Amino acid sequence: MTLSLNSFPPGGIAVVIGSTGGIGSAFMDALDASGRFGAVIGLSRRSDPPLDLLDEASIEAAAAAVRQRGPLRLVVDATGILSDAEMSPEKALRQIDPAQMARSYAINAIGPALLLKHFGPAMARDGKSVFATLSAKVGSIGDNGLGGWISYRAAKAGLNQIVRTASIELGRRAPELVVLALHPGTVDTGLSKPFAKAGLEVQTPDAAAGRLCSVIDTVDASQTGGFFSYTGERLPW
């Protein structure tokens, strides 16, 4: 599926952070194929310049390098962690580990906050621009009826508050800027595939990126600070 993304002024720069991951690389392909942007830049720990969410200096340097390329129209933050060899989502309060909780916050909330700190002021002042970060429906407090996954839920809820707060401040400088938290659904990547349940739709990264691009293309400044599903549905806080 090729998207036009014609709600954006033509030209300018699009950036995908976490561009080597499953969804990130799919976003790179979709944005390149759209032909809407003058350049599509992928940033990760292995890019040039490198960007590491746990190293603010690298974030600041990457943002400064991108600013030299032209007006920044779109930033997609496709980073995040749910589990790896060192951590897994808790099923009960007794499993809370302070170090693992702090790591989840560092990557899922503090890292995106630092991206907003350094990339937010670089967004184009005139015409539509979007900063979109991947949140998760399990970060919705209103939708939580199952419990569990305490650190991940709390970090994503924190991210949603960061998005909402940043949208207010950044909107004063760039009235057409849209800052979004996006729920990608269950995607066939290392993050969510191990936790897919029977009956859940598991999307390919390409399908997920395409659906999220459609949401990004549809929203406008009246919806800044919002929390949206890949279906376009506005999710409860």
The reply to whether 3 falls in a domain is: no
pTM above 0.85, yes or no: yes
> What CA–CA distances, in Å, run from 228 to 1, 126, 139?
21, 24, 12
CB 9 within 8 A of CB 185: no
Q: What is the pLDDT of residue 3?
A: 74
The reply to whether 234 falls in a domain is: no
Hey, is 40 helix, strand or coil? strand
The reply to whether 71 falls in a domain is: yes
The reply to whether 31 falls in a domain is: yes
User: pLDDT tens digits for 100-123?
Assistant: 999 999 999 999 999 999 999 999
The reply to whether 28 falls in a domain is: yes
Residue span of the structural domain in which 151 resides:
13-229
Residue 84: exposure state from Cβ atoms within 10 A (0-12, 13-18, ≥19): exposed
The reply to whether 128 falls in a domain is: yes
Beta strands in 50-201 (DSSP E): 72-77, 129-134, 177-183, 186-187
What average pLDDT does the chain have? 94
- Local confidence band at 4 (pLDDT 50, 70, 90 cut-offs): confident
Mean pLDDT of 51-68: 97
The reply to whether 2 falls in a domain is: no
Domain total of the chain: 1
* In the block, residue with structure tokens 């999307």: 203
The reply to whether 1 falls in a domain is: no
Mean pLDDT of 45-66: 98
CATH code, domain with 44: 3.40.50.720
Q: What is the pLDDT of residue 201?
A: 80
- Local confidence band at 199 (pLDDT 50, 70, 90 cut-offs): low
The 10 Å Cβ neighbour count of residue 222 is 7
Q: How far apart are CA 237 and CA 234, in angstroms?
A: 9
Hey, is 234 helix, strand or coil? strand
User: pLDDT tens digits for 138-164?
Assistant: 999 999 999 999 999 999 999 999 999
CB 109 within 8 A of CB 222: no
- Count of alpha carbons within 13 angstroms of residue 148, beta-carbon side: 8
Q: What is the pLDDT of residue 222?
A: 98
Structure tokens at 177: 């800027």
